[in-house]
Amino acid sequence: MYTAADLRKGLKVQIDGVPYIVTDFDFSKPGKGQALYRCKMRSMITGNQLVQTYRSNDKFDKPDLEERKMQYLYCQGEEYHFMDTGNYEQLVIDKEHLGDNVNYMIDNMDMEVLFFQDKPIDVSMPMFVNLMVTKADPWAKGDTSGSDSKPVTVETGYVLQVPPFVEEGDKIQIDTRTGAYVTRVKE
């Protein structure tokens, strides 16, 4: 159990059976009044926001969360297959639970999968991934008239804007938090 005094940014609590993460926290206590713990929280399942004010006596359950190291094996349609690298158990996660992460997932990639009550609810990626460019318009050298970026497609099918010098077959680094190009990688 957590009490209101434990509340802080980043804390995970369970409310009405749903795990929430505290995204914003403010302690206030009007002159000689009650301590108020004002929280903004995000559901770790639906992403919905919850704004709530708690008092000192409020208590919270700890959500049953577990993070497991898993390897992404392959995908079949909307189904993404993973293997627990500890016990070699395999499981399938639906595309909708993976969100934008599918843009950066390549076969045999190591990832952390977050389980709530034994159901996978989220995956965390490395902050940067290196992906191969599979489709790019050629860059006309010396072309100064064009814009300073162009769209390319990487091996996962994800399309992003990169500088004009990036070519098909290059490996580029992508920031998985923003989905943006970082740099070209020499191998």
| Per-residue interface string for the shown chain with other proteins, residues 56-95, x marking contact by CB under 8 A | xx--------------------------------------
149 binds other proteins (CB under 8 A): no
Name residues contacting other proteins, limited to 1-30 (CB under 8 A).
5, 26-30
* Terminal-to-terminal C-alpha distance of the chain: 50
Cα separation, 66 vs 122, in Å, equals: 11
50 binds other proteins (CB under 8 A): no
33 binds other proteins (CB under 8 A): yes
34 binds other proteins (CB under 8 A): yes
Which residues on adjacent β-strands are paired with residue 180? 175
Q: Which C-beta is closer to other proteins: that of 36 or that of 132?
A: 36
Q: Report whether 19 contacts 62 (CB < 8 A).
A: no
Of 4, 38, 44, whose CA–CA distance to 20 is shortest?
A: 44
To other proteins, the closest distance from the beta carbon of 56 in angstroms equals 8
| Phi, psi (deg, nearest 5) at residue 98 | -95, -20
Q: Which C-beta is closer to other proteins: that of 21 or that of 35?
A: 35
Give the pair of three-digit tokens for residue 88. 């070699």
Q: How big is the site for other proteins, counted in residues (CB under 8 A)?
A: 16
Q: How many helices (H) and strands (E) does the chain have?
A: 1, 16
Burial label for 165, CB within 10 Å (0-12, 13-18, 19+), is exposed
In the list 2, 21, 38, 114, the residue contacting other proteins (rule: CB under 8 A) is 38
To other proteins, the closest distance from the beta carbon of 5 in angstroms equals 5
Q: Which C-beta is closer to other proteins: that of 57 or that of 76?
A: 57
Chain positions contacting other proteins, by CB under 8 A: 5, 26-36, 38, 53, 56-57
